[in-house]
Amino acid sequence: MNKTKILLAALLFLGLAIRLYDLTDPPLDFHPTRQILSLQKARGMYAQTGADLPAEERAYAIRQWKAVAAIEPEVLESLVAFTYRFSGEQTWVARVYSSLFWVIAALFLFLLAREFSSAPAALAAMAAFLFLPYGVEASRSFQPDPLMAALVILFWWAVFHWAKNPTSYLWALIAGLAGGFAIYVKFVAAFFVIAGGLGAVLGRESILQTLRRPQLYLMAALGILPGAAYTVYGILAGYLGQQFGGRFMPALFLSPTYYLGWASMLNLVAGAGVLIAALLGLILARSRAAFSFLFALWLGYFFFGLYFNYHISTHDYYSLPLIPILALSLAPLAEFFLSPFFADAAAPRLRAALALILVGGLLLHLWNLRAQMKAQDFRAEPAKWQELSSLLEKDAQLAGLVEDYGARMEYWGWRVIKPWYAYGDFYYHANRGAQFDFDSFFEEETAKRDYFIVTDFDELEKQPLLQERLAQYPIAFTGKGYVIYNLQP
């Protein structure tokens, strides 16, 4: 086994190991609202298969599954629910799957980077993909995004090979299946599938030449049909009617908040240093095929951000697909800096010093990532919500300003709660032209509710009108981290 294979295996092992650290901590470290949504779906599916649950809890779990929004196909949720049959309901199951998807994607990213750079540069690109701090955190979450990113990378690898050999039906078939499944898993993948396909083709021949190839139409059909079929069915069935609403707001193009928000998300996901280094790598791409491909990926992300302008400036995980683009763009830069160390005339001691610096730096980086994970501990959360639930009558109707729009209460407390708007929600609806009268809105949101629960006190500080209104009601229960107001004294 040569050195490249040893380093490849070591990086993949470390990439998986850091993601599985602190495995059993509840998944509240990264966009918990979205992760609990998937947990609810998986539990409902598991309950429907005859899980060993009390009849009342089984019925509740199935109702919750049916009630939550069904925007994307429940691919990962189905896989997790199936695994529950053997593991029992464990919140860490999805973390294992998402981590595996990301690490497998890293292998294909290495193979793709190897097409236009040296082995050391491709390893550097893979290391960036595996160990960028935001990527580590996001790629272990219970969301469709890690699976989508893995399938997009598989498509890029296959379509790049097809562009080299455009008469190959095999590469067209692999690319079509990977791209189609990526779009099926999450529709936004279409931006990156289309961009990767165009970039691979235009780096080698003209569009007119490509349009004459029957393999293109096989690839396009496989790419379009799964996602299109799901979307049409979902719209006709009624559960996808609002999927595309609220994503594009033309008024934001005139607002500095949009551009500052997008820049803030870029800083969070990548950081200014990595972003600048990746753009330098794009410029340093030597071959036409590599530059065309990488440039198209950046354009795909740019147009994606223009269309999903509200979410790209407020939701950091919308920039998750940028991570593989950054990693691939770093390959030419890595080759530029690493090539002197691997030249025939390079002294062995120079290579040894480089290896020592890189290995030491990576281990220090992993230790810091581990420390950040260890600093967060959510193991007390399930008991907290179970305690809150036990304080109230079973038939009590609840509203509240609570974390994650009440998802924690619904999942661990087995109680439905009507969530009060966060400050950001008022801002979002105001941008869409909504007008709010606080008193009318409060009466509407708390109508026929018995209790109003507050656990998110940071959010309460941002809403003085709500503080004043709640002060008019008696406190039914209070404890560490919660206050429960009686709306029907």
pLDDT in tens, 10-21: 999 999 999 999
CA distance 337 to 113: 16
Determine the pLDDT at residue 426: 80
Determine the pLDDT at residue 254: 85
CA 483 to chain centre: 33
Mean predicted confidence (pLDDT) in 91-103:
97
Determine the pLDDT at residue 96: 98
Determine the pLDDT at residue 476: 94
Mean predicted confidence (pLDDT) in 122-128:
97
Mean predicted confidence (pLDDT) in 249-277:
91
pLDDT band at 485 (very low <50, low <70, confident <90, very high): very high
pLDDT above 70 (res 242): no
Q: At 230, list the tokens.
A: 């799901």
CA distance 75 to 77: 5
Largest CA distance in the chain: 85
Determine the pLDDT at residue 431: 66
pLDDT band at 483 (very low <50, low <70, confident <90, very high): very high
CA distance 111 to 331: 12
pLDDT band at 342 (very low <50, low <70, confident <90, very high): confident
pLDDT above 60 (res 244): no
The secondary structure element, H or E, covering residue 398 is strand 398-401
Burial 305-330 (b: 16+ CB within 10 A, else e): beebbbbbbbebbbbbbbbbbbbbbb
Mean predicted confidence (pLDDT) in 237-253:
67
- pLDDT, one tens digit per residue, over 348-368 is 777 788 888 988 999 999 999
Instruction: Residue 112: name the closest of 297, 242, 273 by CA.
Output: 297
- pLDDT, one tens digit per residue, over 145-173 is 999 999 999 999 999 999 999 999 999 99
Q: At 328, list the tokens.
A: 């691939």
Q: At 414, list the tokens.
A: 């087995």
Percent of the chain with pLDDT over 70: 95
**Looking at the DSSP assignment, which residues form a beta bridge with residue 478?**
483
Determine the pLDDT at residue 240: 64
- pLDDT, one tens digit per residue, over 382-407 is 999 999 999 999 899 999 999 999 99
C-alpha triplet 36, 38, 40: angle, nearest 5°: 70
Percent of the chain with pLDDT over 90: 76
pTM of the shown model: 0.92
- pLDDT, one tens digit per residue, over 171-221 is 999 999 999 999 999 999 999 999 999 999 998 888 888 889 999 999 999
State whether the Cα torsion 119-122-124-127 is positive or negative: negative
C-alpha triplet 203, 206, 209: angle, nearest 5°: 125
Map out the domains of the chain as residue ranges.
3-26+96-374, 38-91, 381-486
CA distance 258 to 313: 6
Instruction: Residue 487: name the closest of 417, 412, 429, 384 by CA.
Output: 417
**Looking at the DSSP assignment, which residues form a beta bridge with residue 293?**
none
Q: Look over the chain and give the mean of its residue pLDDT values, rounded to a whole number.
A: 91
- pLDDT, one tens digit per residue, over 419-444 is 999 887 887 776 666 777 888 999 99
Mean predicted confidence (pLDDT) in 287-303:
96
Determine the pLDDT at residue 352: 81
Residues 6+ apart with CB under 8 A from 244: none
Determine the pLDDT at residue 400: 94
Determine the pLDDT at residue 425: 81
CA distance 40 to 31: 15
